């Protein structure tokens, strides 16, 4: 099993740069055709880590929280907010490095990272708007607008509703599937996913980034100029 751990870890790291312990567990279990329980995996992983660290493996709980965000941050606002249901998923997105390029702010239902939540809350109260994408396990049942930073928006009672999309896994027992082997060839065709960490990190991050692009309005200055019947652009017609 130690060889499988190294091989799967290298594959996960190549795809996303970082992965959680449970990401690795699900990958190793797939490599062994499902012949593995989490307890046996943890014993084998501890043996492997006693020899040398595994590059890309995230700690059980990371500490990403900045002490504070300066007031200069209030001049900026993200294109979208990703709300996740567990700290491990927050850690995965922060470690991936995907957020800055996408201008995506990631916060967790537990209110972390607190400075980021406070920054978003100030922005919503100041009239800023960003669509919210809610990513959760199949077993998570929670109304996200009861949590920060969304609760502040609801309390504000603004006229413009926040754009909201549920990206979570379908409820337990549902016949629909969010991820299949067509999304990632490493996923067996018959596997039904109920846990976000069962989704390979690169697949999960790519899925969210595609949904962010769909949720964020395009820049009108980047649209092609419309053509009039004479075949001239509107800009040329005005000149």
Angle at 136 between CA 6 and CA 203, to 5 degrees: 40
pLDDT at 224: 61
The domain spans of the chain are 2-51, 71-215
Task: For domain 71-215, give the fold.
Answer: Rossmann fold (3.40.50)
Split the chain (239 residues) into runs of 10 and give each run's mean pLDDT: 94 94 96 90 96 93 73 84 92 84 85 87 84 90 75 62 84 73 80 90 92 74 53 50
Neighbouring-strand partners of residue 132: 81, 164
Neighbouring-strand partners of residue 80: 104
**What is the rounded distance in angstroms from the CA atom of residue 23 to the CA atom of residue 166?**
22
Q: What are the CB-based long-range contacts (under 8 Å, 24+) for 147-152?
A: 147/83, 147/109, 147/111, 148/107, 148/111, 148/117, 148/120, 148/121, 149/81, 149/107, 149/117, 149/120, 149/121, 149/124, 150/83, 152/121, 152/124, 152/125
Backbone angles phi, psi at 133, to 5 degrees: -115, 125
72 preceded by cis ω (within 30°)?
A: no
Q: Is 54 helix (H, G, I), strand (E, B) or coil?
A: coil
Would you mind telling me the total number of residues written for the chain in this entry? 239
Burial of 205 (0-12, 13-18, 19+ CB in 10 A): buried
Neighbouring-strand partners of residue 108: 84
Three-state helix/strand/coil letters over 56-107: CECCCCCCCCCCCCCHHHHHCCCCEEEEECCHHHHHHHHHHCCHHHHCEEEE
* Tokens encoding 138: 């199949």
pTM of this structure = 0.82
If you ran DSSP here, which 8-state letter would residue 160 be given? S
pLDDT at 222: 47
Do the Cβ atoms of 65 and 114 come closer than 8 Å?
yes
pLDDT at 147: 76
Angle at 218 between CA 215 and CA 223, to 5 degrees: 150
Do the Cβ atoms of 199 and 179 come closer than 8 Å?
yes
Q: How many CB atoms lie within 10 A of CB 119?
A: 24
């Amino acid at each position: 099993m130690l060889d499988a751990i190294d091989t799967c870890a290298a594959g996960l790291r190549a795809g996303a740069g970082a992965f959680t312990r449970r990401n690795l567990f699900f990958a190793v279990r797939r490599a062994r055709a499902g012949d593995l329980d989490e307890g046996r995996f943890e014993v084998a992983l501890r043996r492997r880590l006693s020899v040398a660290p595994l590059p890309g493996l995230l700690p059980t709980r990371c500490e990403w929280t900045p002490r504070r965000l300066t007031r200069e941050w209030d001049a900026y606002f993200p294109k979208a907010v990703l709300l996740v249901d567990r700290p491990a998923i927050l850690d995965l997105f922060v470690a991936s490095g995907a957020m800055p390029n996408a201008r995506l702010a990631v916060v967790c239902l537990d209110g972390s990272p607190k400075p980021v939540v406070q920054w978003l809350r100030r922005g919503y109260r100041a009239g800023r708007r960003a669509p919210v994408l809610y990513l959760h396990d199949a077993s998570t049942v929670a109304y996200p607008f009861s949590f920060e930073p969304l609760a502040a928006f609801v309390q504000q009672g603004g006229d413009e509703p926040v754009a909201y999309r549920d990206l979570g896994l379908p409820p337990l027992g549902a016949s629909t599937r969010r991820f299949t082997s067509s999304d990632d060839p490493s996923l067996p065709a018959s596997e039904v996913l109920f846990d976000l960490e069962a989704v390979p990190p690169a697949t999960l991050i790519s899925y969210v980034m595609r949904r962010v692009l769909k949720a964020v309005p395009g820049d009108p200055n980047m649209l092609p100029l419309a053509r009039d019947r004479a075949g001239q652009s509107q800009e040329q017609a005005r000149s």
